[in-house]
């Protein structure tokens, strides 16, 4: 599990996990918003360039506005976060995978799925907004909860319908929150590891078990390449 401590309560939180064993495992990335902020690598680069601080240490708001008007899909993630403030705890946060994976069952039938990770039981009920919680407060809350009892999350696979967009990570599937889903299992978190425990084995979203294919969108393709470069550098 990898959580991103917030320095701003509107920032994303991340949850990475591994399904299966070393022989057949899938490395899955999820986040606290159901969409990405860019549809393509070129758009992501332009998004970041538009926000480069000037000599005064601040981005050019006119440049940001011009880019946003020309690329309205890059506002979907920020709009979602503004309308759904983060929960007061990592434990009561819901996480989504923005990529659509082609998944094939034992009968040879293939459908696209999206991963969703939801808190279980009391964790899910405590949805108070995080307000301006500091990173240390969120981390201490996480540690104290785990010290008292284990934390549990259900791992779900949302099933596609004909016509669902599978190439655009800036948009949601229609009625995504209410559609058919398959429960894959439960993640049980029982302790907090030291930071160096995350160094091995390497985590790579391109690592997928048999029956789960690579998503078709451009952002997943560049993510695969970025992780390969990172792994080679770390070695």
* Total domain count, the chain: 1
pLDDT of residue 163: 94
Secondary structure of 90-144 in the HEC alphabet? HHHCCEECCCCEEEECCCCCEEEEEEEEEECCHHHHCCCECCCCCHHHHHHHHHH
Q: Is residue 225 in some structural domain? A: yes
Residue 198 CB partners (closer than 8 Å, separation 6+) = 2
pLDDT of residue 202: 75
Domain of 161, in residue numbers: 14-234
Q: Is residue 5 in some structural domain? A: no
Q: Is residue 152 in some structural domain? A: yes
pLDDT of residue 134: 65
pLDDT < 70 positions in the chain: 1-10, 22, 122-135, 195-201, 231, 234-235
CA 225 – CA 27 distance, rounded (Å):
15
pLDDT of residue 71: 97
Q: Which of 143, 145, 133, 97 is nearest to 117 (CA)?
A: 97
Q: Which of 171, 179, 3 is nearest to 99 (CA)?
A: 171
Q: Is residue 6 in some structural domain? A: no
Q: Is residue 3 in some structural domain? A: no
Could you report the per-residue pLDDT of 133-189, keeping only the tens digit for each?
666 788 888 888 888 888 899 999 999 999 999 999 999 999 998 888 999 999 999
């Amino acid at each position: 599990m990898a959580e991103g401590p917030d320095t701003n309560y509107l920032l994303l939180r991340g949850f990475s996990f591994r399904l299966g064993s070393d022989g057949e495992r899938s490395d899955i990335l999820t986040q606290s918003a159901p969409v990405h902020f860019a549809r393509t690598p070129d758009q992501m680069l332009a998004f970041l360039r538009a926000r480069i601080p000037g000599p005064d240490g601040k981005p050019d708001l006119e440049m940001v506005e011009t880019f946003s008007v020309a690329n309205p899909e890059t506002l979907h993630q920020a709009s979602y976060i503004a309308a759904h403030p983060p929960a007061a705890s990592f434990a009561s946060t819901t996480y989504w995978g923005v990529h659509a994976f082609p998944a094939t069952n034992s009968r040879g039938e293939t459908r696209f799925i999206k991963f969703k990770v939801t808190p279980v039981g009391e964790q899910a009920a405590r949805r108070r907004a995080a307000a301006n919680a500091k990173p240390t407060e969120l981390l201490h809350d996480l540690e104290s909860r785990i010290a008292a009892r284990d934390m549990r999350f259900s791992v779900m696979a949302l099933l596609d319908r004909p016509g669902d967009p599978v190439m655009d990570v800036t948009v949601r599937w229609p009625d995504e929150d209410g559609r058919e889903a398959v429960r894959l299992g439960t993640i049980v978190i029982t302790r907090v590891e030291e930071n160096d425990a995350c160094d091995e084995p390497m985590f790579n979203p391109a690592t997928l078990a048999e029956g789960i294919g690579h998503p078709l969108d451009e952002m997943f393709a560049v993510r695969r390449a970025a992780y390969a470069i990172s792994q080679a550098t770390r070695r």
